[in-house]
Amino acid sequence: MNILSITHIIVSVLLVVCVLMQTRGTSVGIAFGGSSETYRSKKGVEKLLFYATIILAALFAALSILRLVLG
């Protein structure tokens, strides 16, 4: 295994963890298409997880393309 494969595995595991930690706070009704009547902004750890998910997803996509190109 080369360093690119190991990095890809680490980023994918971190991405899964970030996504699972975000969905922990949602209610079941919202997950199945219901709507929430109140609007609230992301604060603190929730905001950090949101941005970390975006960064990790972009990094995962870039690593996937790089692995595809390099073989």
pTM: 0.73
Total domains present in the chain: 1
Contact 4, 59 (CB under 8 A): no
53: phi then psi, degrees, rounded to nearest 5: -65, -45
Q: Give residue 25's pLDDT.
A: 54
Whose tokens are 């609007």? That residue is: 39
Q: Which domain holds residue 36?
A: 3-70
pLDDT tens string, the chain, 71 residues long: the values are 799 999 999 999 999 999 998 865 555 555 556 555 566 677 888 889 999 999 999 999 999 999 999 87
Whose tokens are 């929430």? That residue is: 36
Q: Give residue 60's pLDDT.
A: 97
Contacts of 14 (CB under 8 A, 6+ apart): 52, 56
